[in-house]
Structure 1
Amino acid sequence: MPLNITKRGKIWHYSGTVAGRRLRGTTETTDKRIAERIAAEVENKAWQSHLDGPGTTLTFAQAAIAYRQAGRDTRFLDDIEDYWKDTLVPKITGEAIRQMARKLYPEAANATRNRQGIVPAQAIINFASELEWCSPIKVKRFKVSAKIKTPVTRAWVEKFAAQAVQDELHHLAALCLFMFGTGARRGEACALKWSDVELFQKTAVINQTKVEHQRIAHLSPPVVGALANIPSNRNPENFVFSYASGESVGQVWKNVVKRAGIQHLSPHCCRHGFATSMLQAGVDPKTVAVRGGWKDVATVMKYYAHAMDDPTVTDVLFGTNLTQDKTEMQSSN
């Protein structure tokens, strides 16, 4: 039967059964004529969904709610949800999502538009597709020029940590050693709590942000020592490194680099250094990927396998030691 409207207080509500589904809700209006139009629209959408499938009436807001309720990554979603609101998912095209990314991040680099715009919007729609609510969507990413990042070396890390300790920034020294020693991303390291750390067992549980997974990292003796030297009451709920987020590390990190007189390298270069140093030490790529929390070996080889800047490296074929000085570092300008 068609939907009926009834007044509760000053607000009109609709109720009834359409295509075998019991529907009821508020029109959020005190105007009866508007309420009748809203009820008719709800009824029409219910029939359309019944005859043509749920995807025809699925809104982006509904898909986003389901995505959140499933415990998926919610970073960057607020602006995207505000942009699309109740737009029907079938009307959202790949190019429309690209336009959204440009409007939300007009001054940002393409990598940011991809990561904070295209990826989460596409993820929401494709999650709805997994629920068989709509068709999946493909979105062409913005072109990103690959930048070669210099990995830190053990010598660089030791100089940085020594300067940080001299500046009484024991937590920053430990942060640097921890990222280099475990391959943790900056945000993952800053999110580490004392409840995640077992100094006697030399382990730490790292919540991996990009792959939504946990891994148990081994803590080498220098890392354990640095963590033990952090002034803290070690409350299980306290952050180990005392930084609210990865972004808050930037300026103090730069200051320590400058005072140490070493090449300016970002915190993320510690992750590069982890992979590069492991590979150059002869550890197989699969093990490096597992221990550093990468999803696949291809990623490690594509972005983190840096060639050694030493033409005599081929001497190892004949049992000759390498001539490259692994402790050599560039000084900052």
Structure 2
Amino acid sequence: MVLKLYKRKGSPNFWLSGTVRGLAVRESTKTADKAAAETIRVLRERALLDESIFGKKAVVTFKTAVDAYLVAGGSTRFMAPLVNAFGNTLLRDIHQNHLDLLSFKLYPDTTAVTRNRQLFTPFIAVWNHATKNEWAEPRLWARPRKQKGTRKRSTTARSGAHPVSYERAAEFVLNMSPAPAMVMTALFYTGMRPVELFTLEPGDVNVAGRWITLEHTKTGEPRGVPIHEFLVPLFTSLLKRKKGPPQVFQNYRGTAYQLFEERGGQLKGAINGARERLAKQGIHINDVSPYTGRHTVSTQLVINQIHPHIKDQILGHAVDSMSRHYTNLPQTPLIEAINTLPVPDLWRSAEWWADPLGYVGKHVKWGVGQKDNAT
């Protein structure tokens, strides 16, 4: 049976109805122009025929794959240029050379790191999600690499790029207001990416089971994160919040931390404020930022002689089928591993620790014997 055009009562647009090799369709053409609607009918009929013979992989466009990825919770960051370039292109027609050429067109005179972050990473995340839906074949996409001999080492350490000791982290965090201090504490004892923590919701947290379930991550793969015993009072308190946005971690105003399209900055003011307050005390700590927590967890687990496979699962580096299968189930080896992270007495002494939810709205510095205005 072929598809037919018809007019639906109350709608100015033409509609499609019919079945092509067992695939039924009843949908709007989204146009009132009959000639345009007829063109859409022919193309839709051809697509259904291809799908019935070759499967869904023959007809899914990049735009369709992106829409599905976003519905599943994927990030919109850097996605618009990709959709503009590949929107209606079938997934099966996109190849490595198309991606390489697009990266140089969109981001000329940029480093391989920039092209990788702003184009290859979001593209591959969409592709991997499409692969899970069996819309595309698994592929190993080649990412841009730095040319040999072009790497220049910075003379100063970039904040967040290296681990720090837990004693140093504690001293820094306790010079922040309670709300950002709680965020930083969770980052240093979970190894989560900041964006994962900022979007965490109560339903993702199983305090009794010492487990966090992340369905949507940067890589597009779900994963489970063990909860350190130190964080139990923090999560227990914050999960009692009855009003406001759904995110577990909120700023002192009671609103969610904003996720910016092409930049960070959610804790920039708090980070700068802590550095300034420490500097007034003659203490200079400029190598701590939100991503420092992830590097510190990774390094400390190695020092603690945790098996590399366990470490990789905690940080979300392991993507084998077994890891995905147990995403939602608390894993004793991972919980035992995360509990090997040390907790300095200074960190335990934070005044807000007795009642995190009660202190989260206080826009002041706590825990080192004095109070002042905090960013």
TM-score by length of 1: 0.66
1:239 alignment partner in structure 2: 248
TM-score by length of 2: 0.60
Partner letter of residue 188 of structure 1? Answer: E
Q: Is the 2:4–2:17 contact (alpha carbons within 8 Å) kept by the matching residues of 1? A: yes
Distance 1:259 1:251 in 2: 12
Q: Runs of 5+ in structure 1 lacking a partner?
A: 297-333
Deviation per residue, 1:279-330 (Å, 9 max, x gap): 335555455445555538xxxxxxxxxxxxxxxxxxxxxxxxxxxxxxxxxx
Within a 5 Å distance, the mapping from 1:130-279 to structure 2 comes to 130-143=132-145, 149-164=161-176, 169-192=177-200, 196=205, 205=212, 207=214, 209-210=217-218, 211-220=221-230, 227=234, 235=241, 237=246, 239-240=248-249, 242=251, 244-245=257-258, 247=264, 248-260=266-278, 261-265=283-287, 266-279=289-302
Q: Is the 2:79–2:122 contact (alpha carbons within 8 Å) kept by the matching residues of 1? A: no
1:310 alignment partner in structure 2: none
Question: How many percent identity over aligned positions?
Answer: 24
Distance 1:146 1:127, change over 3 A: farther
Deviation per residue, 1:219-273 (Å, 9 max, x gap): 33xx678x59x9x895155634526147311232133124323241122122222
2:97 alignment partner in structure 1: 95
Distance 1:103 1:3 in 2: 40
Distance 2:166 2:229 in 1: 15
Q: Runs of 5+ in structure 2 lacking a partner?
A: 320-375
Partner letter of residue 63 of structure 1? Answer: A
2:318 alignment partner in structure 1: 295
Partner letter of residue 110 of structure 1? Answer: A
Name whichever structure is richer in helix by fraction. Answer: 1
Q: Secondary structure in 1 aligned to 2:226?
A: strand
1:4 alignment partner in structure 2: 4
The CA RMSD over aligned residues, in Å, is: 4.0
Partner letter of residue 268 of structure 1? Answer: Y
Distance 1:159 1:84, change over 3 A: same
The offset of 1:59, in angstroms, is 1.8
Q: Is the 1:188–1:206 contact (alpha carbons within 8 Å) kept by the matching residues of 2? A: no
Deviation per residue, 1:46-82 (Å, 9 max, x gap): 334445554333322333344455x363443751334
Distance 1:270 1:3, change over 3 A: closer
1:318 alignment partner in structure 2: none
Q: Secondary structure in 2 aligned to 1:139?
A: coil
Distance 1:137 1:235 in 2: 44
What is the number of equivalent residue pairs in this alignment?
284
Distance 1:249 1:5, change over 3 A: same
Q: Secondary structure in 2 aligned to 1:163?
A: coil
Distance 2:209 2:60 in 1: 49
1:76 alignment partner in structure 2: 77
Question: 1 or 2 for the larger relative contact order (CA 8 Å, sep ≥6)?
Answer: 2
Q: Is the 1:171–1:241 contact (alpha carbons within 8 Å) kept by the matching residues of 2? A: yes
Within a 5 Å distance, the mapping from 1:40-51 to structure 2 comes to 40-51=42-53
Bigger Cα Rg: 1
